[in-house]
Chain A
Amino acid sequence: MASVSLSEAEKVYIVHGVQEDLRVDGRGCEDYRGVEVETDVVSNTSGSARVRLGHTDILVGVKAEMGTPKLEKPNEGYLEFFVDCSANATPEFEGRGGDDLGTEIANTLYRIFHNKSSVDLEALCISPREHCWVLYVDVLLLECGGNLFDAISIAVKAALFNTRIPRVRVLEDEEGSKDIELSDDPYDSIRLSVEHVPCIVTLCKIGCRHVVDATLQEEACSLASLLVAVTSKGVVTCVRKVGKGSLDPESIFEMMETSKRVGKVLHASLQSVLHKEESLGPRRPKIGFLG
């Protein structure tokens, strides 16, 4: 990750500010930076989204491909996550340098989606035991300016919201041989319900308080943070402590309460932005990286 070096005095300034609920950029402890979301930025994917959170820049592409269901879940499709820490973000990621962080983030994504309610996987099944849709969710990290996990989870949710999977029908003839027929209409597609897709809220412990959406400088001041995946209803699907420091049990419960409160607001505003963007229809001017 792009490294920042802070002097002792700078650290004290940040820690004391957080104590007073006033952060370096003027935010309170439970405020996010402005989030920019745009969907449908890469036209050869089934769904894509770009999220910018401060200096953190994430691009997510979802590709739907046909595959065979897993043996233990014969009537469900599945999601595959891959995170590419591109050298664009920092020269340290050149070659295989970003692989460790990429794997860590991908495994966290697997974990927050590892439950029955997040995505309706049965909707991805085409014919049990034989064919299903596999959604390859590929995350591309273009710049990191702190709070990667939250930005990635927002981008994944937006990309899944944007995903359109072609509608197929299974035709069976008298001899029992099956044939898959793709709909003639390219706009005839199924969409996933993202209502229960969780978003990650990372809480950084700074001094004896915790903040959401930490910048790189604030992350450098914190020893440990708690990553909580919450759905729009406030259901927690995953909790993970990250960082080299330790947390006491009481503060963990406090942090989970905060994350639920913050998470609900985050989901509500993300939903409204996504719906608003969609209501503009295909004539919406696409900004992408040109704006």
Chain B
Amino acid sequence: MAGLELLSDQGYRVDGRRAGELRKIQARMGVFAQADGSAYIEQGNTKALAVVYGPHEIRGSRARALPDRALVNCQYSSATFSTGERKRRPHGDRKSCEMGLQLRQTFEAAILTQLHPRSQIDIYVQVLQADGGTYAACVNAATLAVLDAGIPMRDFVCACSAGFVDGTALADLSHVEEAAGGPQLAMALLPASGQIALLEMDARLHEDHLERVLEAAARAARDVHTLLDRVVRQHVREASILLGD
């Protein structure tokens, strides 16, 4: 790690956080009126929007309909101005397709798809600004949007990334920490049961350290859950006031 010290001797990270500390999370549900569900989340400087349409009839080919459960369709796109260097295409590139697939897997694990056979649920996420942890921000935004749409889920899905620097596990990596090239772990957790909906790790990490990194990611995901839960409760409270209950 030439030049940049990711973790100081005093235990502070580049942006002044402690190892297990999250960035500031702000979120809002019900951003758009036309969609069935929508949410917006800011995790530090990473900003993502998620929109949910459905459950509705299968669009396009009927052959895609599943007889016993709903089809979950995800598209990830990242605005051309979201990254430091301008992107040429907002979606359709290899990374976006992979992200779409991962989101789909994550939400198939969480949504009670068997309640809506032969129908389709669309989840579209849009990254407006990318500063590390885009997968986590997308999952968290999509969870809120699915909740806003009133689609039954097994549990919240809370995601967080973690890394490993100088023998310490770091939670919620920023872009600078991701770019340094250390091991990175992305985890989506169903907090109530403690089940893992998605786990992905790249780069090299000694097996002995894995447990600590997993532990850090899971703890951070639980912290995210506390925050999201607060947002949902606040939203429901506001909505019920508007309804006059």
Q: Which residues of A contact B (CB under 8 A)?
A: 2, 42-45, 48, 55, 57, 59, 61-63, 65, 82, 84, 86-91, 94-96, 136, 138, 140, 142-143, 145, 288-290
Q: Which residues of A contact B128 (CB under 8 A)?
A: 42, 59, 140
Smallest CB gap from A64: residue in B: B86
What's the least CB distance linking A25 to chain B, in Å? Answer: 14
Binary CB contact string for chain B from 92 to 127 against chain A (1 if under 8 A, 0 otherwise): 100000000000000000000000000000101010
Tell me if B12 is interfacial: C-beta within 8 Å of chain A: no
Tell me if B42 is interfacial: C-beta within 8 Å of chain A: yes
Q: Is there an interface contact between B81 and A44, defined as CB atoms closer than 8 Å?
A: yes
Contact of B126 among A55, A95, A140 (CB under 8 A): A140
Could you show 22 A-B contacts with beta carbons less than 8 Å apart? A42-B81, A42-B128, A44-B129, A57-B32, A59-B79, A59-B128, A61-B79, A63-B81, A82-B80, A84-B77, A84-B79, A86-B77, A86-B124, A87-B122, A95-B92, A136-B81, A138-B86, A140-B90, A142-B32, A143-B32, A143-B34, A290-B28
Contact of B124 among A59, A61, A88, A289 (CB under 8 A): A88
Q: Which residues of B contact A44 (CB under 8 A)?
A: 45, 81-84, 129, 131
Smallest CB gap from B124: residue in A: A87
Smallest CB gap from B90: residue in A: A84
Q: Which residues of B contact A57 (CB under 8 A)?
A: 32
With A142-B49, A289-B28 known, 8 other A-B pairs at CB within 8 A are: A42-B47, A42-B81, A43-B129, A61-B82, A65-B86, A88-B38, A289-B47, A290-B42
Smallest CB gap from A87: residue in B: B124
Q: Is there an interface contact between A86 and B126, defined as CB atoms closer than 8 Å?
A: yes
Question: Known interface pairs A91-B53, A95-B75, A290-B26. Does A43 touch B45 (Cβ–Cβ under 8 Å)?
Answer: yes
- A84 to B92 alpha-carbon distance, docked (Å): 12
- A88 to B31 alpha-carbon distance, docked (Å): 11
Q: Which residues of A contact B59 (CB under 8 A)?
A: 91
Interface size on B (CB < 8 Å)? 35
Inter-chain CB contacts under 8 Å: number = 100
Q: Which residues of A contact B26 (CB under 8 A)?
A: 290
Q: Which residues of B contact A62 (CB under 8 A)?
A: 81
- A57 to B32 alpha-carbon distance, docked (Å): 9
Q: Which residues of A contact B32 (CB under 8 A)?
A: 55, 57, 88, 142-143
Smallest CB gap from A291: residue in B: B28
What's the least CB distance linking B67 to chain A, in Å? Answer: 22
Q: Is there an interface contact between A138 and B80, defined as CB atoms closer than 8 Å?
A: yes
Tell me if B33 is interfacial: C-beta within 8 Å of chain A: yes
What's the least CB distance linking B45 to chain A, in Å? Answer: 6
Q: Is there an interface contact between B81 and A87, defined as CB atoms closer than 8 Å?
A: no
